[in-house]
Amino acid sequence: MAKRVFLIVLDSFGIGAEPDAAAFGDAGTNTLRTIAGHENFKAETLKKLGLFNIDGVKGDIGTPAAPGELIGSFARLREASQGKDTTIGHWEMAGLVSPQPLPTFPDGFPQELLDAFTAKTGYQILCNKPYSGTAVIHDYGEEHLKTGALIVYTSADSVFQIAAHEEKVPIKELYRICEQARALLKGPWGVGRVIARPFVGTCAADFARTANRHDFSLTPPAPTMLDVLQAAGLVTVGVGKIHDIFAGQGIGRTIRTHGNAEGMEVTLALADEDFTGLAYVNLVDFDMLYGHRRDVAGYAAATAAFDGWLPAFMAKMRPDDVLMVTADHGCDPGYQKTTDHTREYVPFLIYGHGIRPGVDLGTRYSFGTVADTVCALLGVPADLAGCGVAHELAR
């Protein structure tokens, strides 16, 4: 058994289209293949963990590690839920499958909802369309500054996003508005996330989003591995936007971060702390800064930075620690049809002194494999979605 599990989610690090990707408009997508072809890409430690030995990756992308090089074990995970967004991906990873997709609004939100929003918050709205987050402030930011009306927009994901200039609508006020919107967005309007999208600048030419984004998620409709671990008396630490994704449910300690660099710094510091339980880390820049913006070079460089960070973290790991690296969906930066998430398999890499290296776990159905494995390694019985692999990895 393990004492500590560090579960690191590379947000949107897909490794190839799932069999039903065409139904989601994502046939042929492959985040890993896209970035692996760029000169910025480096993955020497990920290779040793087994990234290029995974089903569908081996023989297609990169050079697989030889058996003697492998220090981790590896699997490919297929999503069982009907979605490709952050909320559903993380919920399934934590053992909760969503058989129905969360609602989306490709034609904008209904007037009934917008009227209720204005009545509740006192603010008029602009836009009400699916939009790129950077384009929407370019196109509507100046009108927002003149009128004070909020920029409300969505995407292919189940989100209600509110953009506002930090000088026009202070951060605390924007968060309060989002909380009011979250209270409205239930039932058929129950989007996965309400997202505060603050920005700064003087005009369309220099508007830029800030790091003060904040997500307000639906509460998971059933217990997850976080609830199970917490009920067993174990520590649960959420790093980055984990608290937001689970609406705080099952999370004992939250450490908010403003990007990958800070997330990795916090995780390294956690390795020096003495606790028993789970550190659940989301590294958001892969998705937010590079995937959605279709920035192949940036995504490849972020992968190289994470890969370069791994050896220092692994050197701090204790004999009863386990490291897991996975993802919640894809966001292929080379896919030009949309700027949205892509329906892809995700990697599952597992490393630790008590973990047998070089075990090819094949393809597993459900991201819930992660939850079941985490609970088993920490010695906590759980009845969650997914079939764990801990029993296949013990030395």
In whole angstroms, what is the distance from residue 331 CA to residue 341 CA? 4
pLDDT-based confidence at residue 385 (cuts at 50, 70, 90): confident
Residues 352-367: what's their mean pLDDT?
97
| 348 has pLDDT over 90 | yes
For 266-303, the pLDDT digits (tens) are 999 999 999 999 999 999 999 999 999 999 999 999 99
pLDDT digits (tens, 9 = 90+) for 202-216: 999 999 999 899 989
Question: For residue 320, what pLDDT band results from cuts at 50, 70 and 90?
Answer: very high
Tokens of 145: 């500054």
pLDDT surpasses 90 at 157? no
pLDDT at 128: 97
Output the pLDDT for position 296: 98
Q: Which amino acid is at 144?
A: H
- Identify the band that residue 101 occupies on the pLDDT scale cut at 50, 70 and 90: confident
Mean pLDDT of 179-193: 94
SS (H, E, C) 258-322: CCHHHHHHHHHHHCCCCCCEEEEEEECHHHHHHHCCCCHHHHHHHHHHHHHHHHHHHHHCCCCEE
Give the tokens for residue 112. 């009934």
Average pLDDT, the chain: 96
pLDDT in tens, 41-93: 999 999 999 999 999 999 999 999 999 999 999 999 999 999 999 999 999 99
Residue 236 is encoded by which pair of tokens?
Answer: 């649960």
Distance CA 171, CA 182 (A): 16
For position 339, what pLDDT does the model report? 87
363/352 Cα distance (integer angstroms) = 21
pLDDT in tens, 160-173: 999 999 999 999 99
Rounded Cα–Cα distance for residues 359 and 29 (Å): 27
pLDDT at 76: 98
Say which residues have a Cβ less than 8 Å from residue 60's Cβ, sequence separation at least 6: 16, 33
| CATH code, 4-99+218-392 | 3.40.720.10
Q: What pLDDT does 69 receive?
A: 97
**pLDDT tens profile 307-319:** 999 999 999 999 9
Q: Which CATH number fits domain 111-216: 2.40.50.140, 1.25.40.420, 2.40.110.20, 3.30.70.1250?
A: 3.30.70.1250
Residue pair 377/352 in contact by the 8 Å Cβ criterion: no
Per domain, the residue ranges of the chain are 4-99+218-392, 111-216
pLDDT value at position 180? 97
3-class secondary structure, 365: strand
198 Cβ partners below 8 Å, 6+ apart?
Answer: 163, 164, 165, 166, 169, 171, 174, 209, 210, 212, 213
Give the closest residue to 343 by CA, choosing from 92, 32, 19, 34.
Answer: 19
CB atoms within 10 A of CB 29: 24
Closest by CA to 102, choosing from 199, 178, 187, is: 187
The pLDDT, as a whole number, for residue 311 is: 98
* pLDDT, tens digit (0-9, with 9 covering 90-100), for 15-30: 999 999 999 999 999 9
pLDDT at residue 72 in the model: 98
Is residue 387 predicted with pLDDT exceeding 90? Answer: no
Mean of the pLDDT values across residues 320-347? 96
Whole-angstrom Cα distance, residue 393 to residue 395?
A: 6
Residue 199 CB neighbours (<10 A): 23
Q: Which of the four pLDDT bands, split at 50, 70 and 90, describes residue 386?
A: confident
DSSP 190-257: --SEEEEEEEE-SSTTT-EE-S--EEEEPPPSS--HHHHHHHTT-EEEEESSHHHHTTTTT-SEEE--
* Dist. CA 135–CA 9, nearest whole Å: 27
Percent of the chain with pLDDT over 90: 91
